[in-house]
A = this chain, B = another copy of it.
Amino acid sequence: MDHLTERKTGSKEIFKGKVVHLVVDQVDLPNGHQSTREVVRHPGAVAIIALNKEGKLLLVRQYRYALGKIIYEIPAGKLEPGENPDDSALRELEEETGFRCEKIDQIASFYSSPGFSNEQLTIYFTDTLTNGSQHLDDDEFLEVSAVDLEEAVQMVQDHRINDAKTVYAVQYLQLRKHQK
């Protein structure tokens, strides 16, 4: 064991729900002491930076119960069991926005909250949208809109956009513009 790694010595499942799977593990710390680690296990998620024919960014507006308010986000969703991220991205894009796309690129992948969860978010980009059909989950309610980059930057600045992956998306589009 190196000087940073922790080693599991026991594990207890606390809860397994629709979204959250919580375990509490016993660990040996690098200094030989014992501690516990609380982990929210997550299947992984995808999010899509999608530009429509006018070059505007697709946003979905939905109530997030954990926050108690309606926020703007890029289209996103959890992986289904056994699903690979590429398929999930195409599925979530069409389910949430009603758009398909001809070509989609994986541009990034990162951990949302490594202090307590293994949630890994894979981000995609597309600007080749074609018409499909929206079909939301039974407990999913949202509105689709599209904003140009200037408006999106303003929305980040005045905190109308306050979701990590969507802030990332706006930065990505700003950098993409500089690099063109």
Instruction: Among B22, B61, B109, B114, point to the contact of A67 (Cβ < 8 A).
Output: B114
A18 at the interface (CB under 8 A from B): yes
Assembled-state Cα–Cα distance A118/B4 (Å): 29
Instruction: Among B18, B67, B138, B178, point to the contact of A178 (Cβ < 8 A).
Output: B178
A17 at the interface (CB under 8 A from B): yes
Copies of the polypeptide in the assembly: 2
Please, which residues of chain B bring their CB within 8 A of the CB of A167?
108, 110, 168
Contact present for B4 and A15 (CB under 8 Å):
no
Write the chain B residue with the least CB distance to A39. B66
A103 at the interface (CB under 8 A from B): no
Residues on A close to B: CB < 8 A? 3-6, 14-15, 17-20, 22, 24-25, 27, 29-31, 33, 35-40, 45, 61-68, 70-71, 73, 76, 78, 108-119, 121, 138-139, 141-143, 156, 159, 162-168, 171-172, 174-175, 178
